Chain A
Amino acid sequence: MLKTFLIGIKDLRLAFRDRAALILMLAAPFVLTLGLGLVTGRFSSNNNSGLSDIPVIIVNLDNEQLGDALTDVFTSEELANLMEPAIGSDPEAARKSIDEDEAAAVVIIPEGFTRSIIPQQGDFNNPAETVKIEVYANPSRPTGAGIVKAIVDEFLSRVNEGSLSGSVSILQLMLSGRITPQQAEAAGLAMTEQLQTNPTDSALAITINSSTANGEEVKFDILAYLAPGMALMFLMYTVSYGGRSILAEKTQGTLPRLLVSPTSSTQILGGKVFGIFLTGAAQMLILIGASSLFFQLKWGDPIGVVILVLAAVFGATGWGMFITAMARTPAQVASVGSAIMLIFGIMGGSFISLDQMPPAIQTFSKITPNAWALDGFTTLALGGTLTNLSTPITALLSMGMILFLVSVVLFGKKNLVQK
């Protein structure tokens, strides 16, 4: 165990001393993020989301305050770039268009939704059961669907926070960007007071200065997509670099030397894998730290970010091992590794949102750690937490486990060292 750890630390140190590796591990993704950010105008005042025009169908069967508010959120000016909403009336038809891959998600607001949350006069003795909003997601467009879901989640959590009807209009105003969360809180308090003194007057009209609008809560920063995309792409470089070092240690004689020391081959292989994992995790965390610092990028829930990073690195490490187990020489690992880095980068959505790719590629992307992790990072950037990440994390961990087991079998067959 201790030796496994020591070998891993040694590899981490070696990777961070290799200038060429550092350029590809850290400098390249950082510079590419910066460059793509400039191209997409992230650094100019005119914010323009690279993830844009996510097709979403809203079926509002509620047609009361809350249902209308949510519909307004999706059709609001602030989300005009991000969303391409269509209003439907038939849930079945809408679901069908998802199955035909015409939209990323359908949001169905059932009849009675508002009433189930805000009891109307006369309903007090007979409160309605909560009616749930349904987000019917398109599995082949996880990012787009994830964003839609995040917006709905955000909306619902606001609704749950306020038990007063007044807060609904605040929420509506806030989500549509006309007031800030701070103002909303103040307005909410004011309204509560008013309601307490004058309970009959529930239909309040609040006038707020609309010039303060910025709608921070649901705006999606293009860099929150680009930065993890680039980091994940070059994470694939790091894992193949690590895999290459397994074969390199063989040719440079240090592996045989380890094998004639009182160290078991399990400890050695474990140490090498741990080294890849450590290096990848260090790379990701440095890139995340740097982009937070220099680009003021908000990655979201820190615990979620760390766990997602570890899961992503685990999945990617599996690929690194697999490539190594398939290859014969360090040079082969390097060339196959670079090819996979690019293919996974493109197909996994590091450059272009998967939602805008043909379905075949969207299906293929499921084998890349990039797509799953990117999905998770998008969820986090939109305000999701660890609890919203179960799918990508499960996928990444399973990917890592499967690839690792296959690699061990292949390594055994190839008889890496013993002759």
Chain B
Amino acid sequence: MTNILEVQNLVKNYGDFQAVKGVSFNIEEGEIFSLLGPNGAGKTTTISMLSTLYTPTSGDAVVGGHSVTKDPMAVRGVIGVVPQDLALYEDLTARENLIFWGQMYNLSGKSLNIRVDEVLEQIGLTDKAKNRVKTFSGGMKRRVNIGVGLLHKPRLLFMDEPTVGIDPQSRRAILDTVKDLNKQGMTLLYTTHYMEEAEELSNRVGIIDHGELIAIGTQKELTQQVGQAETLVLHVSENDDSEALAKSLKGIQGVQQAEAVDHEVSIVCAEAEDVLAAVVTKANERGIKIRSIDIREPNLEAVFLHLTGRALRD
């Protein structure tokens, strides 16, 4: 795998205040990489440097082979940017916005029109294309904001908290779009302060706090790093005795803990796959009907808590 982005010791000072304190990481071609961090962690500042908006105080980053400090114009051709705050012309229609931004990305004529139609389809706004953006709901505006970043089919897309402040339905649509884009071969750098989003989307996660990258790796690597176990959740039917089942499960090798709450039995273990068969057998023996099974990997919230002593969201 080749790296499409290599970040080397990036620093950004705002006057006396150091917002980003020497961050280094790589993103491989084809992956979704999430930067997870609370408000003020330095996510937007980092993205702003990577997208050539801000000049780094020191350090550098190489995007698709081009240095952000030495050849920013070349970098801009490789990347697409979806800024955290909406950046649209509210008095233009969705279509006019996309056309204008497409032109700024050197698209023109028929190919621009075709591409705009594709993007409208992709963000689900074909019907509303002729309405002015100012008449849109927050979620619809967010989708146009994303659409603008997709027009020139960038190899690497930066998305800065694209789901902040919108309804669950729009959020779902956006997360699905992100996954679709990745399936089509786009590499993504996604920032968020929602642990669930990072967990759902990313191949690898970087946890950023106070301008420092405090951990990096796959979700599994990160959670194991702090010794967190997985949780297996059994949903049983109402008539069954979940308490008794929980008690009996404690005897299975590899199960660290088993607890029943209402009709759910949570089993904490190092590796869910290792104990799954034994758990199911035990339930069958007792004649308990399992309605569904969830495997919950240890979450990043816990990792953040472990590393910083603070919760991700205050």
Given contacts A14-B91, A256-B87, contact A261 B54 (CB under 8 A): no
Contact A3 to B54, CB < 8 A, known contacts A17-B91, A256-B83, A262-B73: no
- List CB contacts (< 8 Å) of A230-263 with chain B: 252-254, 256-263
B103 and A3 form a contact (CB under 8 A): yes
Taking a contact as CB atoms under 8 Å apart, the answer to whether B85 and A260 are in contact is no
Chain B CB within 10 Å, residue with most, of A10, A17, A257, A258: A257
* Interface status of A96 (Cβ within 8 A of chain B): no
- Complex: A259 Cα to B105 Cα, angstroms: 11
30 A-B residue pairs with CB within 8 Å:
A6-B100, A6-B103, A6-B104, A10-B100, A13-B96, A14-B89, A17-B91, A18-B91, A252-B86, A253-B85, A253-B86, A254-B87, A254-B88, A256-B48, A256-B83, A256-B87, A257-B148, A259-B52, A260-B52, A260-B53, A260-B81, A261-B76, A261-B101, A261-B104, A262-B73, A262-B105, A262-B106, A418-B53, A419-B48, A419-B55
Which of B54, B83, B87 interacts with A418 by CB under 8 Å?
B54
Contacts of B105 in A (CB 8 A): 261-262
Write the chain A residue with the least CB distance to B12.
A419
User: In the bound complex, what is the Cα–Cα distance between A260 and B91 (angstroms)?
Assistant: 22
Q: How far, in whole Å, are A264 and B103 apart by their CA atoms in the complex?
A: 13
Interface status of B260 (Cβ within 8 A of chain A) = no
A250 → chain B, closest Cβ, in Å? Answer: 11
Q: Per-position contact with A for B70-99: 1 when CB-CB < 8 Å, else 0?
A: 000100110101010111110110001000
Are the C-beta atoms of B87 and A253 separated by less than 8 Å? yes
Known: A254-B88, A262-B77. 20 other contacts (CB 8 A): A3-B103, A13-B92, A13-B96, A14-B89, A253-B87, A256-B53, A256-B83, A257-B83, A257-B87, A257-B101, A258-B104, A260-B51, A260-B52, A260-B53, A260-B81, A261-B105, A262-B76, A264-B73, A418-B55, A419-B53
Contact between chains at A14 and B104 (CB < 8 Å): no
Q: Is B17 an interface residue (CB 8 A)?
A: no
Q: How far is the CA of A10 from the CA of B99 in the complex (A)?
A: 11
State the Cβ distance, B143 to closest chain A Cβ, in Å: 16
Known: A256-B53, A262-B76, A418-B54. A14 touches B92 (CB 8 A): yes
Q: Please measure, in the bound complex, the distance between the C-alpha atom of A195 and the C-alpha atom of B87, giving whole angstroms.
A: 80
Give A263 to B103 CA distance when docked, in angstroms: 10
Q: Could you tell me the distance between the alpha carbons of A267 and B178 in the complex, rounded to whole angstroms?
A: 32
Q: Which residues of A contact B83 (CB under 8 A)?
A: 253, 256-257
Residues of A within 8 A of B101 (CB): 257, 261
| Complex Cα gap A257–B76 (Å) | 11
A260:B76 contact, CB within 8 angstroms = yes
Q: Which residues of B contact A254 (CB under 8 A)?
A: 87-89
Alpha-carbon distance between A13 and B148 when the two chains are bound, in angstroms: 19
| Residue of B73, B88, B100, B101 contacting most chain A CB atoms (<10 Å) | B100
Bitwise, B5-31 to A at CB < 8 A (1) or not (0) is 000000000100000000000000000
Show the binding face of A for B, using Cβ within 8 Å: 3, 6, 10, 13-14, 17-18, 252-254, 256-264, 417-419
Query: Closest residue to A257 on the B side, CB-wise?
Result: B87
Measured between beta carbons, the chain A residues less than 8 angstroms from B91 are 14, 17-18
Q: Which residues of B contact A252 (CB under 8 A)?
A: 86-87
Number of interface residues of B (CB under 8 A): 28
Tell me if B104 and A3 are in contact (CB < 8 A). yes
Interface centre among B53, B54, B76, B77 (most CB of A within 10 A): B53
Q: For B55, what are the chain A residues with a Cβ–Cβ distance below 8 Å?
A: 418-419
The smallest C-beta distance from A88 to any residue of chain B, in angstroms, reads 61
Known contacts A6-B100, A14-B92: A419-B79 contact under CB 8 Å: no
Closest CB in chain B relative to A251 CB, distance in Å = 10
Q: Which residues of chain B are near A6, meaning CB under 8 Å?
A: 100, 103-104
Alpha-carbon distance A382/B114, docked complex (angstroms): 55
4 residue pairs, one from A and one from B, having the closest CB atoms: A253-B87, A257-B87, A261-B104, A260-B51
Q: Residue-by-residue, is B138-182 near A (CB-CB < 8 Å gives 1, otherwise 0)?
A: 000000000010000000000000000000000000000000000
CB-nearest residue of chain B relative to A268? Answer: B104
> What residue of chain B has the Cβ atom nearest to residue A6's Cβ?
B103
CA distance A253 to B142 in the complex (A): 13
Q: How far is the CA of A329 from the CA of B81 in the complex (A)?
A: 25
Given known contacts A14-B89, A17-B91, A259 and B103 CB-to-CB distance under 8 angstroms = no
The residue on B at minimum CB distance from A417 is: B53
For the complex, give the distance between the alpha carbons of A259 and B148 in Å: 14
Asked if B106 contacts A257 (CB within 8 A), the reply is no
Set of chain A residues within 8 Å of B87, measured between Cβ atoms: 252-254, 256-257
Q: Which residues of B contact A417 (CB under 8 A)?
A: 53
CA distance A17 to B85 in the complex (A): 23
Chain A residues near B86 (CB, 8 Å)?
A: 252-253
Chain A, residue nearest B149 (CB)? A257
Instruction: Collect the chain B residues with CB atoms within 8 Å of residue A264's CB.
Output: 73
Q: B189 CB to closest chain A CB, in angstroms?
A: 13
Give the docked Cα–Cα distance between A259 and B89 (Å): 15
**Nearest-CB residue, chain A, relative to B50:** A260
Chain A contacts for B103, CB-based, 8 A: 3, 6
Structural contact, A10 and B54, CB atoms closer than 8 A:
no
Least Cβ–Cβ distance between B213 and chain A, in angstroms: 21
A52 to B41, CA, bound (A): 70
Tell me the complex Cα distance, A162–B166, Å.
81
Q: Which residue from chain B places its CB closest to the CB of A10 in the assembled complex? A: B100
A2 to chain B, nearest CB (A): 8
Cβ contacts under 8 Å, B73 to chain A: 262, 264
Point out the residues of chain A lying under 8 angstroms from B79, CB to CB.
Answer: 260
A260 to B96, CA, bound (A): 19
Distance (Å) between the CB of B5 and the closest chain A CB?
15
A15's nearest neighbour on chain B, judged by CB, is B91
Tell me the bound Cα distance from A260 to B54 in angstroms: 10
Residue of B nearest to A262 (CB): B76
Nearest-CB residue, chain B, relative to A261: B104
Least CB distance from A136 to B in Å reads: 54
Asked if A263 and B104 sit within 8 Å, CB to CB, the answer is: yes
